[in-house]
Amino acid sequence: MSADLQRIERYGSDTSEYLLAIITDEDHASQIELEDGQIAWTSTLRYDRLYRYQDSQTGRIHYKLESIPPEQGGEHQLISLIAEGGRGAEFSELVMFGKRLVTFDDRTGLLCEIRNQNQLVPRQILMTGSGDESFKGFKGEWATLWGDQLIVGSHGKNSAEEWVKILDNTYGVTSVDWHDRYQRIRDVLEVGEEGYVIHEAAEWHPYRREWLFFPRKISTEPFDEIIDERERGSNILVIANEDFSKIRTVPVGDRLADRGISSLKILPGHPDECIALKSIEIGDQRQSYLFCFNLEGEVLQEDLFIGDYKCEGVEIL
């Protein structure tokens, strides 16, 4: 059985309790000084329990998120000694790659395994674009399994970030230009030449043989950071067939202009349902939420508050 199928089938249809891992990307705030005076960079990894309930009479589904207290192993500090331009540990996604939980630093391009709940083990450094033209880390924003391979993508806002990295189970990497695929999404969303789409959440659905992209931001106007932070949040799920020749869109609930999707996962055992992170990033304000929906666009659980920090990766363990 391929790795993507194993991942989606690791729980059965009778599953109602899941363990989540959620990771933060704190940007400039990630730099710290260790006890020995050494400069390092940190990210918070937290573990939460997610419960799925279905009303026996109405069939209505809802979820409950229960945080695990730090003293019970629910929160850990990840430490990285690798930085680019004075920044590091800006981890933007989590994904189970076989039995390994891996994460991606969108500043340095560092790919790490997370072992023993809080140990970072560097495995690869992904470089921007094709990997040949610039000494700059790849801004990895989303990741999923496609067959036995790990696909890592960026936000697609410019040509260097339209490339994807395809990794095998030894972390060998191939760079592939996905410009045409990102452009087809932009065309379907009708943003025009002046507008943009920012991606931070995507999944490959091995049963449907479809790609699920949930853009964080959609705009028909040129990028303006202040307006982008407050007004460009998206509620449009993009569903594409395997080669992106057919694409459709599904509105999911109401659009909240200041909130954007930063991570997306299909729920094992219930493959027509998804969980996703939403984050707010306005000036110094940081907030994160988790919500649940199905692939018909029905919101199953409204936003559940996670914390006053920016969470950019979630995975179901």
Residue 27 has pLDDT above 80, yes or no: no
CB atoms within 10 A of CB 251: 11
**One-letter identity of residue 102:** V
For the chain, domains (ranges, CATH) are: 3-316 (2.120.10.100)
Taking only the tens place, the pLDDT of each residue in 122-179 is 999 999 999 998 999 999 999 999 999 999 999 999 999 999 999 999 999 999 999 9
Residue 178's Cβ-side half-sphere holds a number of Cα atoms within 13 Å equal to 23
Would you state the structure tokens that stand for residue 207, as one six-digit string? 């049963």
C-alpha separations of 285 from 100, 259, 282, 288 in Å: 33, 12, 5, 10
Q: Please choose, from the candidates 315, 263, 264, the residue with its C-alpha nearest in 3D space to the C-alpha of residue 21.
A: 315
Judged by DSSP in three states, 37 sits in coil
Taking only the tens place, the pLDDT of each residue in 34-87 is 989 899 999 999 999 999 999 888 989 999 999 999 999 999 999 999 999 999
Distance CA 225, CA 228 (A): 5
Q: Are 306 and 289 in contact (CB under 8 A)?
A: yes
